[in-house]
Amino acid sequence: MKKFITVAAASAAFVAVPAAAQEVTTDTYDGFYVGATLGGDFLDGMRDDRLVFETDDNGIFGDTVVTAAGTDAFLPGFCAGIANGAEFSAGCSDDDDGLAYSVRLGFDKRVNNSALVAGFLVEGEMSDATDYTTGFSTTPASYTFARELDKSIAVRGRIGASPGDGRGLIYATGGFAYGQIDHEFITTNGANSFDVVNGDKWQFGAQFGGGAEVMVAGGVTFGVEYLYSSYDDDDAYVLVGQGTAPATNPFVLRSGSTDLKTNAGNFDKHSVRATIGYRF
Q: Would you say 270 and 27 are in contact if contact means Cβ atoms under 8 Å apart?
A: no
CA distance 62 to 51: 9
User: Which of 40-49, 182-191, 255-264 is least confident?
Assistant: 40-49
Q: What angle do CA 31, 37, 208 make, to 5 degrees?
A: 80
Could you tell me how many helices (H) and strands (E) the chain has, helices first?
1, 16
Identify the CA nearest to 36 among candidates 100, 128, 97, 120: 100
Q: Would you say 250 and 65 are in contact if contact means Cβ atoms under 8 Å apart?
A: yes
Residues 39, 176, 147, 267: what is their CA dihedral angle, to the nearest 10 degrees? 100
Quick: pLDDT tens for 96-129: 999 999 999 999 999 988 999 999 999 999 999 9
CA distance 263 to 92: 18
- Please measure the distance between the N-terminal and C-terminal CA atoms of the chain and give it in whole angstroms: 33
Greatest alpha-carbon pair distance for the chain in Å reads: 80
Q: Give residue 144's domain range.
A: 2-279
Answer yes or no: is pLDDT of 245 > 70: yes
Looking at the chain, the whole-number percentage of residues with pLDDT higher than 70 is 90
Which of the pair, 171 or 15, is modelled with greater confidence? 171
Predicted local distance difference test score (pLDDT) of residue 113? 84
CA distance 137 to 57: 21
Q: Would you say 163 and 171 are in contact if contact means Cβ atoms under 8 Å apart?
A: no
Looking at the chain, the whole-number percentage of residues with pLDDT higher than 90 is 82
Q: What is the domain count for the chain?
A: 1
CA distance 151 to 161: 31
CATH number, position 35: 2.40.160.20
pTM for the structure as a whole:
0.86
